[in-house]
């Protein structure tokens, strides 16, 4: 293991990669550790019902985050990474993407308003949905794709940690009883908006980006580049954020609370792998564009490290699931234990699929196949959820999620094998 790590960081470029990884690791730690500090407090103060309502609103708003992101977190990151030394092209990419994202933000607001005003289930908590929509605004204006493409992760780290600190401290100051539940989305939205505004300021101050009205050809190009990734992201949402949403439609806020509390734990663990994925994506894009063989060799090494690390994490979650739920959530969430046991190995399965899919298939331009696999997985997940949730509630949605993620990982692996891309070999070391 020690020799493998040395081989991965044996050049100046890879040392820079390691620095970016460390910066994103600090960020991801803050992104998940700080909310975990507030989580035991929130579930006890709000209770399963109000906590479930807040989670349901976030799941609903998550659809509009996907619309405004479009696919730029991968497609624009790749474009910026390849053209980072040409300030004129970088400015063209930045302005084109921001114009598109702004238009998608307005469309999202109109769509959300139509749903919230039309259906009683949403209308009775109308203010919560509009307050939570502030997250979409903040995420739209925060140019995370730009910083990733430039491989300047320290900006993402500082700005996001600042936002999370504001949110964490404010939760303890303002949320004192269950009737204060509306402060949770309000404070969360403010954190995202502040980070977004500061991010824009840094882009124009430090990177020589010039504001200009983009040409229609540039806008069309960015839309085309991000299209398959957008479709893939929509498909992913149908078996990720849609699970909380579907559960809320078929059951009640309390059941949503049981599931969403555990989901936050699992996503926190998955988040430990996020810095690796975010750091290596632009690097792998550049590496494969220069030498496919070199890119595949690098991915084999990363797959080994991620596979071992994520398997250990998943095993620990499964083994100590009872204690984790009782200590973090308390006696009101005993129903969540079985959910955590079912979802325990998601970090391992998703860690593998990230390497097979995002890092390998997208960088080898297998975008259509990538999208197709995720669309099929979303159909599978929704079908299973509709059948199982009415009968088994939070347990049913957990099983459907697990089966869908297994389908994705196996399908991507088999596709790459069929294409002659041997990410897994008999001898990795």
H, E, C per residue of 189-239: HHHHHHHHHHHHHHHHHHCCCCCCCCCHHHHHHHHHHHHHHHHHHHHHHCC
Which pLDDT score, from 0 to 100, does residue 428 have?
A: 40
Number of domains present in the structure of the chain: 1
Q: Which two tokens stand for residue 144?
A: 């995370």
Residue numbers of the chain with a pLDDT score lower than 70: 1-21, 23-32, 236-240, 425-429
Q: Alpha carbon of 311 to those of 163, 258, 285, 347: distances in Å? A: 31, 25, 26, 8
Is residue 103 assigned to a domain?
yes
Is residue 426 assigned to a domain?
no
Q: Alpha carbon of 338 to those of 198, 335, 397, 405: distances in Å? A: 42, 7, 12, 18
Is residue 100 assigned to a domain?
yes
Q: Residue 418, exposed/middle/buried by CB under 10 A (0-12, 13-18, 19+)?
A: exposed
CB within 8 A of 86, min separation 6: which ones? none
Is residue 425 assigned to a domain?
no
The label of the residue with tokens 């983009």 reads 214
Q: Within 13 Å, how many C-alpha atoms sit on residue 405's CB side? A: 22
Is residue 339 assigned to a domain?
yes
Is residue 318 assigned to a domain?
yes
Biggest CA pair distance of the chain: 60
Cα–Cα distance for residue pair 192/180, rounded to 1 Å: 20
Which pLDDT score, from 0 to 100, does residue 8 have?
A: 47
Cα–Cα distance for residue pair 219/181, rounded to 1 Å: 40
Contact 186, 58 (CB under 8 A): no
Is residue 429 assigned to a domain?
no
Query: By C-alpha distance, which of 280, 285, 272 is closest to 301?
Result: 280
Q: Alpha carbon of 398 to those of 15, 310, 362: distances in Å? A: 40, 19, 28
Cα–Cα distance for residue pair 372/86, rounded to 1 Å: 34
Is residue 275 assigned to a domain?
yes
Which pLDDT score, from 0 to 100, does residue 343 have?
A: 95
Classified as helix, coil or strand, 306 is helix
Q: Which two tokens stand for residue 304?
A: 């080994």
Q: What is the span of the domain harbouring residue 384?
A: 2-418
């Amino acid at each position: 293991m020690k020799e493998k790590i040395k081989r991965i960081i044996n050049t100046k470029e890879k040392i820079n990669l390691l620095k970016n990884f460390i910066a994103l690791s600090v960020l991801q730690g803050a992104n998940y550790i700080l909310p975990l500090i507030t989580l035991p407090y929130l579930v006890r103060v709000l209770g399963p019902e109000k906590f479930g309502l807040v989670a349901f609103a976030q799941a609903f708003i998550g659809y509009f985050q996907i619309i405004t992101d479009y696919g730029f977190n991968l497609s624009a990151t790749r474009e910026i990474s390849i053209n980072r030394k040409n300030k004129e092209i970088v400015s063209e990419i930045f302005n084109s993407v921001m114009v598109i994202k702004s238009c998608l933000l307005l469309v999202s607001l109109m769509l959300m308003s139509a749903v919230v005003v039309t259906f009683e289930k949403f209308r009775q908590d109308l203010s919560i949905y509009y307050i939570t929509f502030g997250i979409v605004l903040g995420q739209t204006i925060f140019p995370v794709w730009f910083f990733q493409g430039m491989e300047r992760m320290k900006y993402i780290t500082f700005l996001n940690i600042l936002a999370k600190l504001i949110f964490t401290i404010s939760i303890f100051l303002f949320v004192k009883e269950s009737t204060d539940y509306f402060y949770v989305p309000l404070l969360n939205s403010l954190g995202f908006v502040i980070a977004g505004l500061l991010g824009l300021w840094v882009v124009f101050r430090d990177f020589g980006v010039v504001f200009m009205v983009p040409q229609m050809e540039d806008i069309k190009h960015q839309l085309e580049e991000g299209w398959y990734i957008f479709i893939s992201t929509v498909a992913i949402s149908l078996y990720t954020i849609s699970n909380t949403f579907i559960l809320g439609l078929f059951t009640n806020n309390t059941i949503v609370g049981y599931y969403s509390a555990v989901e936050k734990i699992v996503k926190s663990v998955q988040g430990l792998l996020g810095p690796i994925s975010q750091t290596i994506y632009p690097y792998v894009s550049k590496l494969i564009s220069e030498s496919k063989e070199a890119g595949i060799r690098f991915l084999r090494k990363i797959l080994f490290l991620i596979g071992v690390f994520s398997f250990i994490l998943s095993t620990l979650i499964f083994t100590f699931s009872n204690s984790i739920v009782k200590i973090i959530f308390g006696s009101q969430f005993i129903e969540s234990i079985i959910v955590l046991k079912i979802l325990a190995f998601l970090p391992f399965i998703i860690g593998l699929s990230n390497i097979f899919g995002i890092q390998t298939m997208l960088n080898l331009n297998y975008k259509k196949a990538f999208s197709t696999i995720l669309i099929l997985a979303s159909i599978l997940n929704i079908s299973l959820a509709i059948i199982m949730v009415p009968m088994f509630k939070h347990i049913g949605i957990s099983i459907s999620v697990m089966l869908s993620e297994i389908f994705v990982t196996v399908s991507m692996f088999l596709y790459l094998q069929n294409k002659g891309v041997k990410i897994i070999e008999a001898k990795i070391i």
